[in-house]
């Protein structure tokens, strides 16, 4: 008996195949599967290619005991209907479960459903379940009205710090040279046509990678941005915990590139969580979200 979990991202997706004992049998990758980012037709094509790489052919998926696809927004009924249509189009008939990315991150991070996961990738969200199965979330409202502490938020703050320094509204920052070098530009005003020509929020989120080197250089603006990100993510985690009203200790895990790759932000986030939620046990993720999705396929009652 084999179970497949898929963590469908906006640009890249991960596949994990496990047996009935939860042992990893095979792993794979494909391009993005987020229908909101790339459209349903492209997502279907990418899924087909991913399944072919992993299993040899798309029809082979029907020999599996179950499959779980997790993507941002896939907790919504409309998104589930879209993916049900894609599965039908690809003649995928094995038992299928559709879940949100936060659910897969929680299961992968803790190997159980009870607890909270805080994610900070291109966007940000915190969510989880209590012992009774009640679900609560905080954040996840997108880059225009939310996503505090996300890569997009950090990228936008970096660009804002650069223009504020240029205008004399803030101290000079090493971020200016980093941003101009990244884009091959000569001066700050040259940013305007480039930045406003972007069509995807991931283009802004990509500037978040500059934060680590700026922090290492002791840059004041970078430190302020990192502190704000850690604070926002800790607030999301605390808000989700308050909604669930845990009576005793509970586990919290993390995911996404910001909390995974930026040691400073993770350290400050952990310190803030310890202060705000002393009953929380912060756990480093045990497995990736694709494994969490595979566990959901294995454990989901049918």
Q: Do 128 and 244 meet the contact criterion of CB atoms below 8 Å apart?
A: yes
Tell me, what's the pLDDT at 302?
58
Rounded mean pLDDT, 48-76: 92
115-284 CATH, one of 3.20.20.70, 3.30.420.40, 1.10.1370.40, 3.40.50.300: 3.30.420.40
pLDDT digits (tens, 9 = 90+) for 203-246: 999 999 999 999 999 999 999 999 999 999 999 999 999 999 98
Q: How far is residue 42's CA from residue 50's CA, in Å, rounded to a whole number?
A: 12
Tell me, what's the pLDDT at 301?
65
Q: How far is residue 151's CA from residue 200's CA, in Å, rounded to a whole number?
A: 13
Rounded mean pLDDT, 269-284: 95
- 43 Cβ partners below 8 Å, 6+ apart? 8, 32, 33, 34, 35, 86
Q: Could you tell me the pTM of the whole model? A: 0.89
pLDDT tops 80 at residue 37: no
DSSP strand pairing (115-120 vs 124-129): antiparallel
Tell me where in the chain the CATH 3.30.420.40 domain(s) lie. 2-111+288-299, 115-284
CATH number at 2-111+288-299: 3.30.420.40
pLDDT digits (tens, 9 = 90+) for 163-200: 999 999 999 999 999 999 999 999 999 999 999 999 88
């Amino acid at each position: 008996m084999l179970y497949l979990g898929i963590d469908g991202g906006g640009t890249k997706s991960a596949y994990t195949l496990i047996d009935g004992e939860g042992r990893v049998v095979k792993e794979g990758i494909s391009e993005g599967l987020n229908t909101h980012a790339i459209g349903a037709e492209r997502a279907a094509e990418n899924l087909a290619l991913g399944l072919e790489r992993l299993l040899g052919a798309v029809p082979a998926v029907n020999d599996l005991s179950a499959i779980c696809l997790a993507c941002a927004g896939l907790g919504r009924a409309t998104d589930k209907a879209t993916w049900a249509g894609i599965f039908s189009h690809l003649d995928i008939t094995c038992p299928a479960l559709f879940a949100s990315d936060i659910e897969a991150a929680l299961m992968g991070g803790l190997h159980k459903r009870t607890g909270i996961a805080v994610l900070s990738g291109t966007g940000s969200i915190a969510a989880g379940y209590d012992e009774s199965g009640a679900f609560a979330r905080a954040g996840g409202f997108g880059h225009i009205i939310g996503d505090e502490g996300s890569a997009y938020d950090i990228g936008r703050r970096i660009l804002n710090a650069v223009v504020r320094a240029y205008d004399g509204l803030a101290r000079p920052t090493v971020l200016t040279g980093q941003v101009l070098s990244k884009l091959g530009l000569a001066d700050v005003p040259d940013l305007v046509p480039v930045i406003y020509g972007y069509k995807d929020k991931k283009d802004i989120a990509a500037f978040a990678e500059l934060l680590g080197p700026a922090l290492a250089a002791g840059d004041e603006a970078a430190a302020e941005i990192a502190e704000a990100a850690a604070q926002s993510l800790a607030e999301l985690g605390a808000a989700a915990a308050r909604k669930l009203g845990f009576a005793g200790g509970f586990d919290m895990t993390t995911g996404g590139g910001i909390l995974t790759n930026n040691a400073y932000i993770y350290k400050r986030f952990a310190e803030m969580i310890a202060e705000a939620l002393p009953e929380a046990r912060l756990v480093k993720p045990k497995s990736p979200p694709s494994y969490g999705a595979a566990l959901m396929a294995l454990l989901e009652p049918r």
